[in-house]
Chains A and B, each alone.
Chain A
Amino acid sequence: MNGRRLPKRHGKQRTWPAFWVFVGPFAIGLVLFTFVPIVWSAVLSFFDAHNTVTPSTFVGLDNYVDMLTNPDFLHSLLTFTVFAAFIVPTTVAIALGLALLVHRLRFAKAFFRSVFFLPAACSYVVAALIWKLSVFNGVRFGLANTVLGLFGVDQVPWLSSASPPWYWVALVTLRLWLQVGFYMILFLAGLQRIPTDLYEAAYVDGAKPGWQVFRHITFPQLRATTVAVVLLNLIAAYQAFDEFYNLMASARGYPPFARPPLVYLYFTALGSGQDFGHGSAGAVILALLIAIVTVLQAKLFGFGRRED
């Protein structure tokens, strides 16, 4: 090491151009396609911006007042808070369960790891089409209805029926199928980082394998991973769009139930609505809500806290 260390100033001069050659394009892209739109959107949220992105009528906080008193937007926020409260724990439990099972395997570990991870590589749009057209279509030859038919149950219009809301079955199973594998990989990585001597020490102290070891060794050791998984999941739940749009929307718009906030805003601002003022105000409110929930959750579970 000693002989190869270069003088400090020299090194700096050398790496500076290289730094910008590599980071420059990325930084420009980030500024152009992320930061400028964010700022522009924030500006638009204070203007009456119907059919224009360079508005001239300043309306102050009117758009925010409208959105915060808009029952449809509030309803979609509430629906997705409930949705998050359900999907996040479910995903974490299933992903953790799969990870524990795969971790214990003595053979074909790589095979099962890949099999469970594979759906994560599938496009949301493609998966949504498969769910809509073959698994959960409402006619007699749909997969779900064929299986139910074997037990003599009448065909169920999965995505059409709103009372009872069968569409949630399709939406939730699709989301779980797509993302559980990915979070399982994160948990697996976490499991592999737990030192084996901890388990040995536990056995020496008389801990029974199974629930007791999981409760007192494995799960506490996975805290950082769990918190990260919950966080990613929570943000993903509020940002739901792809599979909802592809399963529920028709050419004539989106029904008023199971309507994610982003879908509502999409139709307000970008569809034939073209109301960028209200759309941007809604987007800012949603972003703030995600930020608040994330910060609260991080405080509660101690994300980024040093592990001892």
Chain B
Amino acid sequence: MVKPSGYARRSVLRGAAGIAVAGALATACGSNTGRGSSGGDGPTIKQWYHQYGEAGVEQAVKRYAKAYPKADVQVQWTAGDYDTKLATSLLGKDGPDVFEQSVARVDQLKAKQLVDLTDVFGDAKDDFTPAVLDAQTVDGKIYGVPQAIDMQMLFYRKSWLEKAGVAVPTTLDELVAAAKKLTNKKVKGLFLGNDGGAGVLGAVPLWSIGQNYLTDDQKKVGFDAAGAAPVFATLRKLYTSGSLLLGAPADWSDPSAFTQGLTAMQWSGLWAVPVVQKALGSDFGVVAWPKGDAKGAPSVPIGAYGSTVNAKSGNVDAAKAYVKWLWIDKTDYQQDFDLSYGFHIPARKSIAAKADKLKSGAGADAVKLVQQYGKVQATPGWTATMNTAYTDALNNIIRKGSNPSAELKTAITKINKELTTLYK
């Protein structure tokens, strides 16, 4: 073979120098991420938010931070994969002092990442919606102050259902039948995401038959393979029926498939209401996931980001004081955050009562659904490993047609193994 020439060696060096320069630039960009610094005296508190889609939220949270008198609060607005970035930053010493997350996980507590915030609540505790408070509670201690509630529900096109002579489905069998009737050459009956609901539905099928991921104490598996198999078999039947929209350009969280008329019904979230309202006017309704059998109830998954303090922070007390100030005491800021920008339900009942746009139409229906059926999917004991085991089973059942009870048994074995390591 030909020996490398001088030219090749030179280009290698040039490449190396390029890498070195790029490295230096990357370092330069990496520093000083704190923006929106406040004028307050005292310690510096770094606060992280994930990227809210609605315009104005970023400016709003920076305005709140600036108004805090007792510390210099620097807000970081985190775009992209917030959960992964947060998890990585919590490993080291330079993570945020205050951050938001939707659930206080048992494995985070084992790693001593979270500060007990029970005492910052005071009398206000009863004002919070219990379900979202539970997601932040482990062994009676609360690790996060819920901010705003989001929820998922089923959207349907009123006029199309009327034309097809279909009633709003209240059981899973009715849903399957309705999807079939609403399907024609141009339109599919139902859209549950491009994976046929395997990803987004999560615990919903279990709730619809009165079961759950875990038992209430979070220490045992909360569903049984034989009992849960039929409802998953029905989801598989739905998937192969040809009445489910699959492979749409935008996934379930985006109402495009619904507003563009690709589907007559779609599973999506509260955040989609303004877009749908603009596109379809009042020609749509919202409803809970129908019950799976006589034992079950209609299901509505909810979730809320909660403000949390990092146990590795150098200023735990100052951070706690700030969280108390912003998310417990300053109800005017909370109301502004919850109601002025997107379409959320306030986590505090006293603020929810003041929300005018939640008093009529789809907004009012959504609030009613949350109050009647709202449940949190991700609970403190449900780890990523358990979720992978469960979602794998769902994918195999719904998309590959594997035997439901065998797949669920495999998932239960894996979840039990994780439970043993978690509580050994």
Q: Tell me the complex Cα distance, A162–B401, Å.
A: 8
Write out, one digit per residue, whether chain A residues 157-193 have a CB within 8 A of any chain B CB (1) or not (0): 1111111000000000000000000000000000000
User: B111, A51: Cβ atoms under 8 Å?
Assistant: yes
A267 partner residues in chain B, CB cutoff 8 A: 384, 388
User: A29, B19: Cβ atoms under 8 Å?
Assistant: yes
Residue of B87, B113, B246 touching A161 (CB-CB under 8 A): B246
Most chain B beta-carbon neighbours within 10 Å: one of A52, A136, A142: A52
Using a CB-CB cutoff of 8 Å, which residues 371-413 of chain B contact chain A? 383-385, 387-388, 391-392, 395-396, 399-401
Q: Is A243 an interface residue (CB 8 A)?
A: no
Q: Tell me the complex Cα distance, A174–B71, Å.
A: 52
CB distance from A308 to the nearest CB of B (A): 12
Q: Tell me the complex Cα distance, A178–B17, Å.
A: 28
CB distance from B124 to the nearest CB of A (A): 29
Q: Is B13 an interface residue (CB 8 A)?
A: yes
Known: A138-B246, A250-B251, A273-B384. A25 touches B17 (CB 8 A): yes
> Shortest 4 CB-CB distances between A and B: which pairs?
A138-B247, A252-B199, A25-B20, A26-B16
CB distance from B252 to the nearest CB of A (A): 9
Q: Is A140 an interface residue (CB 8 A)?
A: yes
A50 partner residues in chain B, CB cutoff 8 A: 107, 110-111
Write out, one digit per residue, whether chain A residues 26-39 have a CB within 8 A of any chain B CB (1) or not (0): 10010001000000
Residue of A33, A137, A162, A252 touching B247 (CB-CB under 8 A): A137
Q: Which of the four size classes fits the interface of chain A?
A: 35 or more
Q: Is A272 an interface residue (CB 8 A)?
A: yes
Q: Is B194 an interface residue (CB 8 A)?
A: yes
Residue of A23, A134, A157 touching B13 (CB-CB under 8 A): A23
User: B395, A162: Cβ atoms under 8 Å?
Assistant: yes
Q: Tell me the complex Cα distance, A195–B226, Å.
A: 71
Q: Tell me the complex Cα distance, A255–B407, Å.
A: 14
Q: Is B200 an interface residue (CB 8 A)?
A: yes
Q: Is B262 an interface residue (CB 8 A)?
A: yes
Q: Tell me the complex Cα distance, A270–B107, Å.
A: 15
Q: By the criterion of a CB under 8 Å from any partner CB, how many residues of chain B are at the interface? A: 48
Residue of B113, B246, B384, B401 touching A163 (CB-CB under 8 A): B401
User: A163, B399: Cβ atoms under 8 Å?
Assistant: yes
Q: Tell me the complex Cα distance, A25–B385, Å.
A: 40
Most chain B beta-carbon neighbours within 10 Å: one of A137, A163, A253: A253
8 contacts between A and B (CB under 8 A): A22-B13, A22-B16, A33-B23, A72-B392, A139-B245, A140-B186, A252-B199, A273-B388
User: A22, B17: Cβ atoms under 8 Å?
Assistant: yes
B279 partner residues in chain A, CB cutoff 8 A: none
Known: A51-B90, A160-B195. A26 touches B20 (CB 8 A): yes
Using a CB-CB cutoff of 8 Å, which residues 287-325 of chain B contact chain A? none
Known: A139-B262, A163-B399, A272-B384. A51 touches B110 (CB 8 A): yes
Closest to A54 in B: B91
User: B194, A51: Cβ atoms under 8 Å?
Assistant: no
User: A159, B247: Cβ atoms under 8 Å?
Assistant: yes
Q: Is B346 an interface residue (CB 8 A)?
A: no
A203 partner residues in chain B, CB cutoff 8 A: none
CB distance from A93 to the nearest CB of B (A): 24
Q: Is B11 an interface residue (CB 8 A)?
A: no
Known: A29-B19, A51-B107, A271-B84. A162 touches B251 (CB 8 A): no
